[in-house]
């Protein structure tokens, strides 16, 4: 289609065309993405090769200080007067060696690495009446991964050490002076300031987020569940079995349930995000309208509900909607209904109630955001539109809505992602119930993937399936994010303000 033809299309047709071409472009983009990934891998490999080549040349061309640094990290830096760096390198090497070859063999890094492939072979046995615990598969896996991390960090630091030697040599050869320790420290506050600021956060995230996530991804390939609980029992690698179990569709297997829960999660996220968004915007527009007094009062009343902790308000509200709760009792008293509405016991009602209560929670928040953005829209846009004879709805469609969507596009995406993982609302309101014979594994009709994951972890201690589910949630979210990022620019082009 040529540009002229495109411009001749009506507005809806234009949008349809853009959406269609956006979606049609996705396979192409995915292929491009894979190609990019492949190129990136190639680059990494080439980089690795270059690194190794560099190592060899540095050794050949370096002087004796450099060569000795290959064995004793930090030697070169110390020998050239950079004591601070040298001692740090040496300390790191010592700590690493100590950890890997700890005298008490059952605590050393090598021990855990060795057992990593089998995840423990010595079973727990009883001597008389007392129990003697054998291998602990959990700790083998955990410390094994930690050791691998440590080894990677060591290789990186060792490489850094060699590179620094090479650079120092070159600096000295060209006649300049090397940085003293004092200059190093002061540069930490200046050029290297980012290292100072990021050191602790990165360490925290690595140990408390990355390590556990990698651990759980690995658990998805083991049989760690209620019957294989360390320390009394061992668990071991089972490959792709867990994925097969979760995705297969025999009766009592989880495949069908998984699809249902996934579908409901997506529907829930969609409604939770967009219903709140548009209703919140509507409320903000209503309050913001010229002629409405006490704007601050209305806003404050609504905003107060954000502050109250959810566990208080949601627990109370969930009891309000019970079969013998306030709402049913008063509706029956006023004669509006004859028998109690099964808010929590029927699947359809439960889903509706959950979405409804989520609207109650979400509108104040969205109203706040919308108000902030609305106040930024220049008022003369509206004035000129009114002079041109536009009515309220047309002004909304052509001015307010495009502006809002433009500014909050990324926010909508994060909100959608957040709602897929919105544990609090579902857990406190309905605990995922009602359950049914049609749903396996303790899942209920209002269960999101994440609440199902929680139940599996805490109630059933079925960690392997929980891990698999976590990975699948991640895959779903990653796909959605990728798709959205590709679609948003093409929708953005529709935003013409005037």
Partner 1 sequence: MKKVLALVLALAMFLSLASFASAEGFSGEVKIWVAEATVDFTKEQVEAFKAAHPEYANMTEVVEPVGEGDAAGKMITDVEAGADIFGFAQDQLARLVAAGALEEVEPGNAEVVKAENDAGSVGAVTLGGTMYAYPMTSDNGYFLYYDKSVVTDPTSLEKILADCEAAGKSFYFEINSGWYQTAFFFGAGCELTFDSNDEGQLVAMNSTYASENGVKALKAMINTAKSPAFVNGSSVSNATNLAAIVDGVWDSTPAKELFGENYAATKLPTVDGFQLGGFGGFKMLGVKPQTDDDKLAACDALAAFLTSEDVQLARYNAVGWGPSNLAAQKSEAVQADVALSALASQLAFCTPQGQYPGEYWSLATALGDDVLADKLDDADDATLLKTLQDFEATCLTYLAK
Partner 2 sequence: MSKKNKVPEVDIVVDEQAGVIREVKPEKTRSKKGHERRVNTSIYVILVIMSIIWLAPFVFLVFQSFRSYALESGGMVDYLLPKHWSLDNYRFLFDGSNFFPWCGKALITCGIAAIGQCALLTLAQKKLSNMDSSDKKGRLVWLLCTLAVGLVVFLALAAAVQGMAFAGNVGKICIVVALYLIVGYIMARMFTKQDDRLLRQIPGYVADEDSSPLKKLLSLCLEFLAMDLILLCIVSPMVTSQYLRWYGNTLTIALFVAVLQTIIVLSVSYTLSRLRFKGRKLIMNVVLVLGLFPGFLTMITLYFLLKQLGMTGAGAVPGLILIYVASSGMGYYISKGFFDTIPKSLDESARIDGATRFQVFLKIIMPLAKPIVIYTILMAFMGPWGDYVFASYVAFGNVPNYNVAVGLYQWVNVNDYQGYFTRFCAGGVLVAVPITALFLALQKYYVEGVTGGAVKG
Tell me if 435 contacts partner 2 by CB under 8 A: no
Q: What is the 3-state secondary structure (H, E, C) of the chain?
A: CCHHHHHHCCHHHHHHHHHHHHHHHHHHHHHHHHHHHHHHHHHHHHHHHHHHHHHHHHHHHCCHHHHHHCCCCCHHHHHCCCHHHHHHHHHHHHHHHHHHCCCCHHHCHHHHHHHCCCCCCCCCEEECCEEECCCCHHHHHHHHHHHHHHHHHHHHHHHHHHHHHHHHHHHHHCCCCCCCHHHHHHHHCCCCHHHHHHHHHHHHHHHHHHHHHHHHHHHCCECCCCCCCCCCCCCCECCCHHHHHHHCCCCCCCHHHHHHHHHHHHHHHHHHHHHHHHHHHHHHHHHHCCCCCCHHHHHHHHHHHHHCCHHHHHHHHHHHCCCCCHHHHHHHHCCCCCCCCCCCCCHHHHHHHHHHHHHHHHHHHHHHHHHHHHCCCCHHHHHHHHHCCCCHHHHHHHHHHHHHHHHHHHHHHHHHHHHHCCHHHHHHHHCCCCECCCCCCCCECCCCHHHHHHHHHHCCCCHHHHHHHHHHHHHHHHHHHHHHHHHHHHHHCCCCCC
Instruction: State in angstroms the smallest separation of the CB of 355 from partner 1.
Output: 18
Partner whose binding site includes residue 189, from partner 2, partner 1, none (CB under 5 to 8 Å by kind): partner 2
**How many residues in the shown chain lie near partner 2 by CB under 8 A?**
90
The one among 129, 130, 290, 338 contacting partner 2 by CB under 8 A: 290
Partner whose binding site includes residue 442, from partner 2, partner 1, none (CB under 5 to 8 Å by kind): partner 1
Instruction: State in angstroms the smallest separation of the CB of 129 from partner 2.
Output: 26
The one among 48, 292, 383, 394 contacting partner 2 by CB under 8 A: 292
Site for partner 2 in 223-282 (CB under 8 A): none
Mark 325-344 with x for binding to partner 2 (rule: CB under 8 A) and - for no binding: xx--xx--------------
- If the CB atoms of residues 143 and 403 are measured against partner 1, the closer one turns out to be 143
Instruction: State in angstroms the smallest separation of the CB of 367 from partner 2.
Output: 10
Tell me if 307 contacts partner 2 by CB under 8 A: yes
Instruction: State in angstroms the smallest separation of the CB of 6 from partner 2.
Output: 33
Partner whose binding site includes residue 495, from partner 2, partner 1, none (CB under 5 to 8 Å by kind): none
Q: Which residues make up the interface to partner 1 (CB under 8 A)?
A: 124, 128-133, 226-227, 229, 231-233, 251-252, 323-324, 329, 338-340, 342, 345-347, 433-440, 442, 444, 458-461
Partner whose binding site includes residue 182, from partner 1, partner 2, none (CB under 5 to 8 Å by kind): none
Tell me if 112 contacts partner 2 by CB under 8 A: no
């Amino acid at each position: 289609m040529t540009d002229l033809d495109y411009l001749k299309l009506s507005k809806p047709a234009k949008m349809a065309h853009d959406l269609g071409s956006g979606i049609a472009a996705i396979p192409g983009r995915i292929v491009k993405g894979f190609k990019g990934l492949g190129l990136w891998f190639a680059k990494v490999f080439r980089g690795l090769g270059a690194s190794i080549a560099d190592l060899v040349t540095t050794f050949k061309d370096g002087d004796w200080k450099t060569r000795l640094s290959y064995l004793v990290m930090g030697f070169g830096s110390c020998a050239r007067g950079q004591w601070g760096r040298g001692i740090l390198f040496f300390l790191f090497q010592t700590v690493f060696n100590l950890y890997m070859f700890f005298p008490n063999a059952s605590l050393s890094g090598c021990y855990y690495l060795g057992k990593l492939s089998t995840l423990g072979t010595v079973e727990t046995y009883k001597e008389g009446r007392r129990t003697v615990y054998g291998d602990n598969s959990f700790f083998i896996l955990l410390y094994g991964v930690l050791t691998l991390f440590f080894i990677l960090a060591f290789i990186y630091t060792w490489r850094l050490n060699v590179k620094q030697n090479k650079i120092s040599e070159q600096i000295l050869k060209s006649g300049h002076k090397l940085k003293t320790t004092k200059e190093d420290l002061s540069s930490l506050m200046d050029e290297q300031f980012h290292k100072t600021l990021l050191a602790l956060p990165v360490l925290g995230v690595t140990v408390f987020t990355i390590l556990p996530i990698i651990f759980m991804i690995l658990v998805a390939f083991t049989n760690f569940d209620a019957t294989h609980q360390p320390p009394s029992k061992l668990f071991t690698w089972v490959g792709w079995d867990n994925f097969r179990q979760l995705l297969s569709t025999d009766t009592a297997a989880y495949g069908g349930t998984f699809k249902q829960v996934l579908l409901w999660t997506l529907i829930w996220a969609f409604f939770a995000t967009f219903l709140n968004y548009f209703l919140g915007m509507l409320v903000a527009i209503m309050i913001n309208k010229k002629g409405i007094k006490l704007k601050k009062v209305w806003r404050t009343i609504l905003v107060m509900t954000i502050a109250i902790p959810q566990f208080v308000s949601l627990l109370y509200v969930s009891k309000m909607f019970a079969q013998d709760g306030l709402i049913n009792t008063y509706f029956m008293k006023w004669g509006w209904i004859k028998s109690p509405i099964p808010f929590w016991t029927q699947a359809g009602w439960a889903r509706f109630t959950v979405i409804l209560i989520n609207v109650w929670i979400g509108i104040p928040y969205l109203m706040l955001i919308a108000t902030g953005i609305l106040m930024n829209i220049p008022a003369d846009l509206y004035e000129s539109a009114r002079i041109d004879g536009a009515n309220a709805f047309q002004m909304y469609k052509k001015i307010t809505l495009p502006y809002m969507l433009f500014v909050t596009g990324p926010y909508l995406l994060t909100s959608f992602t957040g709602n897929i993982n919105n544990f609090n609302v579902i857990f406190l309101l309905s605990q995922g119930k009602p359950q049914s014979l049609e749903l396996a594994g303790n899942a209920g009709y209002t269960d999101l993937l994440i609440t199902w994951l929680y139940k599996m972890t805490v109630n059933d201690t079925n960690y392997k399936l929980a891990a698999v589910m976590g990975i699948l949630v991640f895959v779903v979210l990653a796909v959605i994010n990728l798709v959205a990022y590709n679609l948003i620019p093409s929708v953005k082009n529709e935003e013409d303000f005037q």
